[in-house]
């Protein structure tokens, strides 16, 4: 079989977990990681309201700061 990116095995039955990276989570600051074939990276982060950025690495800090970025 010719497997799609992120899959392997004789029948492409093994799906790579892009959320795990060398034993560490990809998303910072309690962000929730989800594997996604819709992104080039293979995963996306859902951030808590006080964080932004692709990996939830930007701390907005307060509701006032949160409102300023929108």
Q: What is the pLDDT of residues 5-32, one digit of tens each?
A: 778 889 988 878 888 776 667 899 989 9
Whole-structure pTM value: 0.63
Where exactly are the structural domains of the chain? Answer: 21-68
Residue 68 pLDDT: 54
* CATH class for the domain made up of 21-68: mainly beta
CB of 42 within 8 A of CB of 25?
no
User: How far apart, in whole angstroms, are the C-alpha atoms of residue 13 and residue 23?
Assistant: 22
Mean pLDDT of 48-57: 94
* Confidence band for 57, pLDDT divided at 50, 70 and 90: very high
CB of 33 within 8 A of CB of 45?
yes
DSSP characters for 37-57? TTSTTSEEEE--TTEESTTS-
* Confidence band for 36, pLDDT divided at 50, 70 and 90: confident
Helix (H), strand (E) at residue 66 = helix 63-68
């Amino acid at each position: 079989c010719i497997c799609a990116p992120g899959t392997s095995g004789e029948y492409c039955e093994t799906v790579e977990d892009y959320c795990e990276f060398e034993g560490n989570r990809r998303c910072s600051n309690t962000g929730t990681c989800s594997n996604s074939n819709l992104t080039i990276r293979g995963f996306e982060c859902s951030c808590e309201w006080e964080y932004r950025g692709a990996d939830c690495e930007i701390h907005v800090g307060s509701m006032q700061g949160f409102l300023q970025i929108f």
